[in-house]
Amino acid sequence: MADLKNFLKRYNLYISTFKLTSFDSENNYYLCRDETKEVIDFDKIIAEKFTDSNKRPKSFDAIYIHENSLYCIEFKNQKPGKIDNEEIQGKLEEGKKELIHFLKESKIDIKKINFIYAVVYKECKSNFEKYKCGLVQSKIEFGLEKFKKSGFVKDVFTSDIAFFKRAFKLKMKEELAC
């Protein structure tokens, strides 16, 4: 994490929480309510760096840093079948391009960084939805598998918020209050 300290120092004004970065303003809803873990509000960085919204690249919502891994997280308050594949792919492609630029400005060797993309969507509640979401938990959705296969990112996770919470606990050894 030593390399990433420069990045954190440079963008400390953008430190936020899972709760704030998962907010769906159209529906006035927080997909995750955790306020204990710090993330970087990447959408906010992009919005301030690109004030002209017509020239603003697509971006993911948050960056969670764990050791030398950057978890680039996109929250979608939608069921998986309603999520636009092209939009999700564009957020990864354009967002990572800008993130690499910011990392290089902070003099970080990006070869030492693991980029992981996570798309977290609305919890599946009905029996049919739970069955469907159970099938997709082990599969990378939204056409994102090509980014992992090509090495563009080290890994990709697509899951509902309940699975994301369990996976976070397994990987980070910490509870996430979503």
> Is 150 inside any structural domain?
yes
- Between CA 96 and CA 93 the distance in angstroms is 6
DSSP state of 3: T
86 in any annotated domain: yes
Reported confidence tier of residue 169, pLDDT bands at 50, 70, 90: confident
pLDDT of the residue at 134: 54
DSSP 137-156: TTS--TT-HHHHHTTSSSEE
Q: pLDDT tens for residues 118-148?
A: 999 998 776 666 566 655 556 888 999 999 9
Could you tell me the two tokens for 148? 């992992």
Predicted confidence band of residue 54 (pLDDT cuts 50, 70, 90): confident
Mean pLDDT of the chain: 89
Q: What is the pLDDT of residue 126?
A: 65
In a domain, 58, yes or no: yes
Ramachandran angles phi, psi of 52, nearest 5°: -80, 105
HEC profile of 84-98? CHHHHHHHHHHHHHH
Q: Is 66 helix (H, G, I), strand (E, B) or coil?
A: strand
Domain boundaries, position 165: 4-172
Beta bridge partners of 126: none
Q: Which residue has the tokens 């979503």?
A: 178
Rounded distance between C-alpha atoms, residue 134 and residue 5, angstroms: 37
Question: Which amino acid is located at 170 in the chain?
Answer: L
Q: Computed over its alpha carbons, how large is the radius of gyration of the chain?
A: 16
pLDDT in tens, 5-29: 888 889 999 999 999 999 999 999 9
Phi, psi for residue 51 in degrees, rounded to 5: -70, -25
Tell me how many domains the chain contains.
1
β-partners of residue 115 are 70
- Indicate whether 155 belongs to any domain: yes
- How far apart CA 55 and CA 24 sit, in angstroms, is 23
Residue 178 lies in a domain: no
Task: Note whether residue 54 is domain-resident.
Answer: yes
CA dist list (Å): 141 to 29, 34, 50, 106, 160: 23, 25, 29, 32, 11
Task: State mean pLDDT over 105-126.
Answer: 89
Q: What pLDDT does 133 receive?
A: 61
Estimate the share of the chain in helix, then strand, then coil, as percent rounded to the nearest 5: 45, 20, 35
Write down the pLDDT at residue 155. 93
